[in-house]
Amino acid sequence: MKIAVLPGDGIGKEVTAEAVKAVRASVGNEFSLELQEGVIGGEGIDTVGDALPPETLEIARNADAILLGGTGVPEDEKRPPSEGAGYGLLKLRKALSLYANFRPVKLFPELLDASTLKPEVVGGVDMVILRELNGDLYFGQPRGIEKDADGKRFGINTMRYTEGEIERIAHAGFQAARRRRRKLCSVDKANVLETMALWREVIIEVSKHYPDVELSHLYIDAASMVLIRNPKQFDVIVTGNVFGDILSDAAAMLAGSIGMLPSASLGDNNKGLYEPVHGTAPDIAGKNIANPLAAILSGAMMLRYSFGLEEQALRIEAAVASVLAEGYRTADIRQPGTQLVGTREMGDAVEEAILRASDGARQASVA
Ligand code: IPM
Ligand code: MG
């Protein structure tokens, strides 16, 4: 199992270390792991002058899967967006054609009170936000800041989607819905934007191949409201790059904290990029207080989607559930009566729970 490990910036380093620990513990010596580390983001800029160094891209290309922490540094504020640390990650997703970004939003029952939303609203939330990752405003040309004839500056970005791009994310959405409760909600802004009118048209065309999936449509503004008012009605949401970026951060609060949300970015084969939805949180970096569970759960998604190791993925997920049940909490999900732990301690607890469970399984099979 060839895995590229790209910890990136800020808390990315800390949480990725814990994810690697969990993956190692879960796989045990059933398979051999070959880990290759690379620099990306701010670290790439600082060390070799590039947010996505060619060597890192090469490591990622040669790997079966990529485990990433996060990219983004405070200095980005002084750089043009397309030269910032965060853009290194966008380039990596694009270069590897990882266009389907799955962001599952599931509330662990133990965290019912960790959300700022009422328990009766968030209890039982279980949805997937499928964000298109290779198109939209983030990549469309032209882009930039220019000057008009009077010397006044204007900024320009282009929302652009080809029908091919919409078709492939639509198929990914319908297929994901088929594996779940067979409901797909497409989120767009078809009432105002031509690109989004095309989005809706193509989604409807593709839906003809999936008569067993119930399709609905919402405008992004309404979807944002429904997400907070009645999130349980969603099964799979499919949306474009920008709307998916925003909706998934909002949806994180349904799961108690953005520190709980993993993600998988997939293309047409099994290769995938796995990363927590949260950013690099420079303000808490290096303090051993970040929540590593999103990164750890991303490790589970990697075992499931890139390596087909369902049992090993479940082991990690069950271990996370069990440490939460035991009362371990990082600061972001702290509740009265629970035990506050740091990043490493949380990772240790998960590792122990995985090892305990796999020992149990081995003894059961011997008996
Ligand atoms: C995310 C992040 C990234 C994005 C940033 C770091 C470039 O916000 O993965 O959601 O915009 O996609
Ligand atoms: Mg984001």
Give the domain ranges of the chain.
1-98+261-367, 116-254
Indicate the burial class of 200 (C-beta count within 10 angstroms; 0-12, 13-18, 19 or more): middle
CA–centroid distance, residue 42 to ligand 1 (Å): 14
The domain 1-98+261-367 having CATH identifier 3.40.718.10: the answer here is yes
CA–centroid distance, residue 249 to ligand 2 (Å): 6
CATH classification number, 116-254, choose in 3.40.1130.10, 3.40.718.10, 3.20.20.70, 3.20.20.370 = 3.40.718.10
Annotated active-site residue 21? The verdict is no
Q: Which ligand is nearest to the CA of 274?
A: 1
Nearest to 243 by CA among 291, 180, 185: 185
The closest-lying atom of ligand 1 relative to the alpha carbon of residue 70 is 6
CA–centroid distance, residue 245 to ligand 1 (Å): 7
The pLDDT, as a whole number, for residue 361 is 75
Nearest to 329 by CA among 111, 85, 60: 111
Q: Which ligand is nearest to the CA of 138?
A: 1
Domains 1-98+261-367 and 116-254 share a fold: yes
The closest-lying atom of ligand 1 relative to the alpha carbon of residue 249 is 10
The closest-lying atom of ligand 1 relative to the alpha carbon of residue 138 is 11
Residue nearest to atom 6 of ligand 1 (CA): 86
The pLDDT, as a whole number, for residue 367 is 63
d(CA 317, CA 323): 10
The pLDDT, as a whole number, for residue 214 is 98
The pLDDT, as a whole number, for residue 363 is 77
Q: Which ligand is nearest to the CA of 51?
A: 1
Which DSSP string corresponds to 160-228?
A: ---HHHHHHHHHHHHHHHHTTTSEEEEEE-TTT-HHHHHHHHHHHHHHTT-TTSEEEEEEHHHHHHHHH
Tens digit of each residue's pLDDT, the chain (367 residues): 999 999 999 999 999 999 999 999 999 998 999 999 999 999 999 999 999 999 999 999 999 999 999 999 999 999 999 899 999 999 999 999 999 999 999 999 999 988 899 999 999 999 999 999 999 999 999 999 999 999 999 999 999 999 999 999 999 999 999 999 999 999 999 999 999 999 999 999 999 999 999 999 999 999 999 999 999 999 999 999 999 999 999 999 999 999 999 999 999 999 999 999 999 999 999 999 999 999 999 999 999 999 999 999 999 999 999 999 999 999 999 989 999 999 999 999 999 999 998 887 777 776 6
CA–centroid distance, residue 282 to ligand 1 (Å): 15
Catalytic residue among 87, 99, 138, 274, which? Answer: 138
Residue nearest to atom 11 of ligand 1 (CA): 245
Annotated active-site residue 106? The verdict is no
The pLDDT, as a whole number, for residue 364 is 74
CA–centroid distance, residue 224 to ligand 1 (Å): 18
Annotated active-site residue 221? The verdict is yes
The binding-site residues of ligand 1, defined as CB within 6 angstroms of any ligand atom, are 71-72, 86, 89-90, 245, 277, 279
d(CA 298, CA 6): 13
Residue nearest to atom 9 of ligand 1 (CA): 277
Residue nearest to atom 12 of ligand 1 (CA): 245
Annotated active-site residue 113? The verdict is no
CB hemisphere CA count around 216 (13 angstroms):
13
Answer yes or no: are the C-beta atoms of 266 and 300 closer than 8 Å: no
Residue the block writes with tokens 């990363």 = 275
Answer yes or no: are the C-beta atoms of 282 and 74 closer than 8 Å: yes
Q: Of all helices (H) and strands (E), which one includes residue 100?
A: strand 100-106
Catalytic residue among 99, 161, 189, 235, which? Answer: 189
Mutate-to-test residue for ligand 1 from 71, 241, 245, highest number of ligand atoms within 8 A of CB: 245
CA–centroid distance, residue 341 to ligand 1 (Å): 27
Annotated active-site residue 249? The verdict is yes
Mutate-to-test residue for ligand 1 from 89, 130, 131, 280, highest number of ligand atoms within 8 A of CB: 89
